Amino acid sequence: MHRARPSAARLLLLSCCLCATAGYSFRPPSDLDVTPRITVLSSGLQGCRRFQSSAVNYSTMMLEADSKRLYVGARGAVFALNASDISASSALTIEWEASSEQKLQCKLKGKDNKTECFNHIRFLQRFNSTHLYMCGTYAFRPLCAYINEEKFVMSSQPEDGKDKCPYGPTMGYTGLIIDQQMYTASQYWFRGFPDIRRNSPFPTLKTEDAPTRWLNEADFVGSALVRESSGSSAGDDDKIYFFFTEKSQEQTTTYSHSRVARVARVCKGDRGGQFTLQKRWTSFLKARLTCSLPDYDFHFNMLRSMFVMPGHTPQETLFYGIFGLEWKNVKASAVCRYSLSKVQEAFQGPYMENQDSGSKWKEYTGKIPDPRPGTCITDTLRARGINVSTSLPDDVLDFVRRHPMMSQQVQPSDRRPLLFSRTTDYTHMAVHMIEGLDGQTYHLLYMGTDEGWLHKAVEVKGQLHIIEELQVFEEPQPINNLQISAEQMSVYVSSPSGVAQLPLSYCARYSTCYDCIFSRDPHCAWNGKQCVDITSQAKTSALIQDIQHGRSGCENTQDVVNRRRSVRVGDDVLLQCELSSNLATPLWTLDDSELQGYGLNSGFRTGTDGLLIIEARQDQSGLYTCYAVENSVKIAIVTYNVTIGLDLPPSPPVEPTEDSNSLLPTLPPPTQHPRSERPVPPSASSLLPHSELLTPRNMKAMYLSLITILGGLCMVLTVVLVYVGFCLRVGNRGKYSLRAAAAAYPTKRHNRNRKQSRNSAHMELKTISSHCNGNGVCNGVSKKHNGDFQEGGFLQIVPGEGHTLPNKEPPPPAPPLPPTPLLPSPECEFPNGLSATLPSVLRRMNGNSYVLLRQSDSENTSPLCYSFSEELNKILEKRKHTQLLPRPDESSV
């Protein structure tokens, strides 16, 4: 009796799956999309210090080489924090809020009095050895002021900041003070053109607007001085580089985009032209930065932030950019790295031009005047009598004026991104160099996300390995800024709500030798007893580290926990084995032979948190070993000596383990009833303080609401897909469909029910975590201590009143898992095909209930807080297949 009614929810789900299958066949190279190895929630974060005040919007940060003080600009205030411990109450504050009169003016101008009509500190840098300089939006009337550093007070009346600071808090902006001259880039005034300026004291220079506009709706994200004069044999000048995204002007054969990422540069010694380009840069040139997935016509065009990594020499400077997609509602980011020499190469290459305004730009193939337009003054020019830009010939300056753009694009190192993520929006990053024990220099990337997380990655042979993801801010919010101090061994992270200081590495998190080695954290090494920070060790010769391969050095270590279990025939038993690494896969053996194919019929299920023995049989007794397989290394984690008996004594043996808390399982009292008639054990409710949450009715309600939510999500997804599809068809050549961007394809993550509050697991976890005493550490993270589990409790699933007969025929083949609908909301990802099973689950809940039993019931044992969702779903799925057989459920009751 096939009772699958096509419900609305089901149709929706189905249509989602169909869309996904039909549309998203794109498979970008998955090796660039890296799963973070460790996930640490904010509750488990160690060594974290925080600074918070009544102010919000901590956006600017300044940390100097000596790293004594961390200066932070927020909304209406500037702080000087002790960089060695920002939480110390020694913070110095300058309150600088916009006057109420100015706030009123701002509101009358039609600005938002909840965001814009405040004094957002947008600029904060050193001016000279005794003073800092800062600028604030001052409720839409920018002001700047000097700060006496020692006393930490404003040392002068604020001065007009119109030409130095944007009017609002979100307008793209970057600025530098170099030799007491201020270089800024922004679209300062709401209706103004974007501009790169040298403001003070003299001579003031700007970018050109006519006849050729040098910048088009540019959104600036960063700037940097590169002292190219140092060590230059040609007598080159220092240069200032600006990074931004702007409206695209060029027409190329392969694609067109509305916006593109750019790098522009000017020479520090530029003084403008004599007549042509008077008070304008004579050295302005810009080039396109590309960041594309190799072999896919798929481009990250939006530059979100740029980190400039100084090298040993200026020529070795590296630029690390975070890129996003033009579609705002699509989460995806890429990290591309550029070398200075590649940027210089583009500026040495052919120019672009547009013949008549309105048409697109093409490569210029005509004659190029001499000296080469847009170059800095060098010894060659000086030898010709041109020692300042005002001496440049008119024809050169006229060429500069009309040819600000280079034809050659700047390609990233290896012509591909270092990292590509289709689930994370990175906002900012900072890079730290450290020498590993192997003598190699490693780049550690700290990347902040739009949801308050920090990802730390190490680059090994051109590939990134994400060592960990840390939830720095519990409340999802974008990371505004990141600073690294090697002296303080800290990374500082700012966000709308506050500033956090984290150690560059927290090696003590890794409790075993393999954990330490697998982490591939260049700061961390195993000293035989624990994972330590190599910078804290006087002697490094005995330390074990393997950053290159993350594999060897721990062969002689043993860290297995041994446990015993005694259960009754017919019970469902979960043997817990929580793997702390997201990259590890579990492997189980029974009496040294691998458990093959945990199929529907095998009686076994593996999940992220353990092995489930379904309806245990006597012949399944034996020694179970759980291995974690990571990086091709198999490590035993825990063994269970499982005894499955027909009749167990009323008070089963309690096996003390190393952990005195984990008193093991108190089985429900055996019943006299034959199994098929066994009612719900009467003791169930008393055993389960929260059992009312799990009654069939509540479960039903729960699943109903789950379906409603999923249906809603899919509806949203469908609408977005339609919308985006429409936009794509209209806006672009259909080729880069969202499918490319969205990248709906299975990943490693697909197989792991990730233990994060950020995806579907969250919803499911909630259903289980009602057992948790709300102590935060419940979501499957950091549960392991010293290689042992803190709790030994385990779950038993006892079929409720209607028990399905064991199924003799093989069940119908499992339906193919629907392709993971990827975009744009990760909530629609169901690693275990949940979406396909839901309707049946609901049906099942009608006729049957499953009772989760907490076996170790003593008050002092830790609450049950393991993710059980996957097992539950699999069980339910299995039961569903049983149901599909032409035997009504009821017959088994």
The contact set with ligand NAG (CB under 6 A) reads: 56-57, 82, 84-85, 88, 90, 113-115, 127-131, 146, 169-170, 385, 387-388, 496-497, 623, 641, 643
Q: What is the DSSP string of 364-375?
A: --S---SSPTTP
Instruction: Identify which of residues 129 and 593 has a Cβ nearer to ligand NAG in the complex.
Output: 129
Q: Is 445 helix (H, G, I), strand (E, B) or coil?
A: strand
Tally of residues, the chain: 893
Instruction: Identify which of residues 169 and 610 has a Cβ nearer to ligand NAG in the complex.
Output: 169
Q: How far is the CB of 83 from ligand NAG (least distance, A)?
A: 8
Q: To which residue do tokens 């084995």 refer? A: 577
Q: How far is the CB of 57 from ligand NAG (least distance, A)?
A: 4
| Contact criterion met (CB below 8 Å) for 718 and 15 | yes
Q: How far is the CB of 560 from ligand NAG (least distance, A)?
A: 12
| Contact criterion met (CB below 8 Å) for 662 and 789 | yes
For 329, other C-beta atoms within 10 Å of its C-beta total 12
| Contact criterion met (CB below 8 Å) for 42 and 471 | yes
Q: To which residue do tokens 């809603």 refer? A: 712
Q: How far is the CB of 591 from ligand NAG (least distance, A)?
A: 8
Instruction: Identify which of residues 641 and 770 has a Cβ nearer to ligand NAG in the complex.
Output: 641
Instruction: Identify which of residues 54 and 253 has a Cβ nearer to ligand NAG in the complex.
Output: 54
Q: How far is the CB of 652 from ligand NAG (least distance, A)?
A: 11
Q: To which residue do tokens 């993550």 refer? A: 749
What is the rounded CA–CA span in Å between residue 759 and residue 710?
A: 12
Q: How far is the CB of 116 from ligand NAG (least distance, A)?
A: 8
Q: How far is the CB of 653 from ligand NAG (least distance, A)?
A: 8
Query: Which amino acid belongs to residue 656?
Result: P
Instruction: Identify which of residues 519 and 625 has a Cβ nearer to ligand NAG in the complex.
Output: 625
Least Cα distance to 30 among 423, 408, 395 occurs for 423
Which region holds residue 551: left if phi is over 0, alpha if psi is between -120 and 50, else beta?
alpha
Query: Which amino acid belongs to residue 554?
Result: C
Token pair in block for residue 653: 């043996």
What is the rounded CA–CA span in Å between residue 350 and residue 348?
A: 7
Instruction: Identify which of residues 12 and 117 has a Cβ nearer to ligand NAG in the complex.
Output: 117
* Pairing assessment for the beta strands 531-533 and 593-594 based on DSSP bridges: unpaired
Instruction: Identify which of residues 385 and 650 has a Cβ nearer to ligand NAG in the complex.
Output: 385
Q: How far is the CB of 739 from ligand NAG (least distance, A)?
A: 32
For 289, other C-beta atoms within 10 Å of its C-beta total 28
Instruction: Identify which of residues 84 and 807 has a Cβ nearer to ligand NAG in the complex.
Output: 84
Q: How far is the CB of 602 from ligand NAG (least distance, A)?
A: 22
Q: Is 496 helix (H, G, I), strand (E, B) or coil?
A: coil
Token pair in block for residue 524: 């961390």
Instruction: Identify which of residues 52 and 540 has a Cβ nearer to ligand NAG in the complex.
Output: 52
Q: How far is the CB of 498 from ligand NAG (least distance, A)?
A: 9
Q: How far is the CB of 371 from ligand NAG (least distance, A)?
A: 15
Instruction: Identify which of residues 82 and 737 has a Cβ nearer to ligand NAG in the complex.
Output: 82
| Contact criterion met (CB below 8 Å) for 209 and 193 | yes
Write the CB contacts of 319 (distance below 8 Å, at least 6 apart in sequence): 224, 241, 243, 263, 306, 307, 308, 309, 337, 338, 339, 340, 343
Q: Is the peptide bond before 810 cis (omega within 30 degrees of 0)?
A: no
Q: To which residue do tokens 């040993």 refer? A: 312
Instruction: Identify which of residues 591 and 890 has a Cβ nearer to ligand NAG in the complex.
Output: 591
